[in-house]
């Protein structure tokens, strides 16, 4: 189905052998690969799809085609030594346009620390990282402290890769398998920084100060994959 996995340290890719191929690329393979949690659920969902999962395809205008998907895709950011490790990076074609999308899988796991928690008494590296993220996202200052830091660097990753692959837009899509839509309000609050009003299973697009087009969406996944 075109989902590929990265060989660490190279730019060479080989076809995935199925959901279990994804486990090796997790930051903590033994702890994170658990039934009912996002990593394993997302892998089974994407591997089972004939291209894009239906709910992700619905985020786009018109028929959407998956060109390439890279699980646990790392994107380098200024400041510090840690890359942004995105659950899935996908190149998508819809109509005559292309999109570089970062996909954040979620079940009940939160989006990690808030900006206030991550940026408390910041080191020089964190200051460099924050300036870099704000520049990419079009923020003139550090965003409100209740914003989730993970949403910032996942979205920045999409914009970086959109420039690298010269796509028409970047997208950050939360692929949630939570029946209760846990943490949607955190996502909606983040989207509001761009003037975007988001609703589950509908995407919203904005034009950033840089001129880049950004798509934000919350796709509801099939709960059956929680049992895999």
d(CA 224, CA 221): 9
Q: Give the C-alpha separation, 50 to 31, whole Å.
A: 29
Give the model's confidence band at 80: pLDDT under 50 very low, under 70 low, under 90 confident, else very high. Answer: confident
pLDDT value, residue 9? 56
pLDDT at 3: 56
Mean pLDDT of 84-105: 98
pLDDT (tens digit, 9 = 90+) per residue, 49-65?
Answer: 989 999 999 999 989 99
pLDDT score for 7: 44
Q: How far apart are CA 209 and CA 207, in angstroms?
A: 7
Neighbours of 40 (CB within 10 A): 23
Task: Enter the tokens of residue 38.
Answer: 């996002």
At 125, list the tokens: 């590296």
212 CB-near residues (< 8 Å, 6+ apart): 159, 162, 163, 169, 170
How much of the chain, in percent, has pLDDT values that exceed 90? 91
What tokens does 25 get? 């690329």
Encode pLDDT of 140-159 as tens digits: 999 999 999 999 999 999 99
Cβ(220)–Cβ(181) below 8 Å: yes
Structure tokens given for 202: 């509908």
Residue extents of the structural domains in the chain = 4-227
Q: Which residues pair with 114 in a beta bridge?
A: 148
Fill in the DSSP letter of residue 68: E
Cα(188)–Cα(176) distance, integer angstroms: 14
**Per-residue pLDDT at 111 exceeds 50:** yes
Residue 195 has pLDDT above 50, yes or no: yes
**DSSP helix/strand/coil, 23:** helix
Give the pLDDT score at 11: 78
Question: How sure is the predictor about 4, in pLDDT bands with cuts at 50, 70 and 90?
Answer: low
Q: How confident is the model at residue 12 (pLDDT cuts 50, 70, 90)?
A: confident
Quick one: pLDDT at residue 21? 94
Mean pLDDT rounded to a whole number for the chain: 95
Cβ-count burial of 56 within 10 angstroms (0-12 exposed, 13-18 middle, 19+ buried)? Answer: buried
What mean pLDDT is predicted for residues 8-22?
83
Q: Percent of the chain beyond pLDDT 70? A: 96
H helix intervals, the chain: 20-23, 29-32, 38-48, 54-57, 115-118, 124-137, 149-165, 184-192
């Amino acid at each position: 189905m075109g989902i590929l996995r990265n060989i660490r340290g190279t730019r060479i890719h080989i076809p995935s052998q199925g959901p279990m191929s994804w486990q090796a690329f997790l930051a903590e393979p033994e702890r994170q690969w658990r039934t009912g949690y996002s990593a394993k659920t997302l892998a089974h969902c994407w591997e089972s799809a004939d291209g894009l999962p239906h709910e992700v395809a619905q985020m786009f205008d018109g028929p959407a085609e998956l060109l390439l998907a890279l699980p646990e895709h790392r994107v380098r950011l200024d400041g510090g030594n840690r890359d942004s490790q995105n659950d899935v990076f996908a190149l998508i074609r819809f109509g005559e346009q292309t999109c570089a999308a970062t996909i954040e899988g979620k079940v009940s796991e939160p989006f990690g620390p808030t900006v206030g928690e991550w940026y408390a008494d910041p080191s020089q590296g964190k200051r460099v990282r924050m300036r870099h993220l704000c520049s990419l996202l079009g923020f003139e200052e550090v965003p409100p402290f209740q914003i989730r830091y993970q949403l910032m660097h996942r979205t920045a990753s999409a914009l970086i890769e959109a420039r690298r692959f010269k796509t028409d837009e970047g997208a950050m899509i939360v692929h949630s398998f939570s029946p209760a839509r846990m943490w949607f309000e955190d996502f909606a609050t983040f989207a509001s920084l761009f003037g975007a009003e988001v609703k589950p299973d509908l995407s919203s697009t904005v034009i950033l100060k840089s001129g880049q087009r950004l798509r934000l969406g919350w796709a509801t996944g099939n709960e059956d994959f929680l049992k895999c």
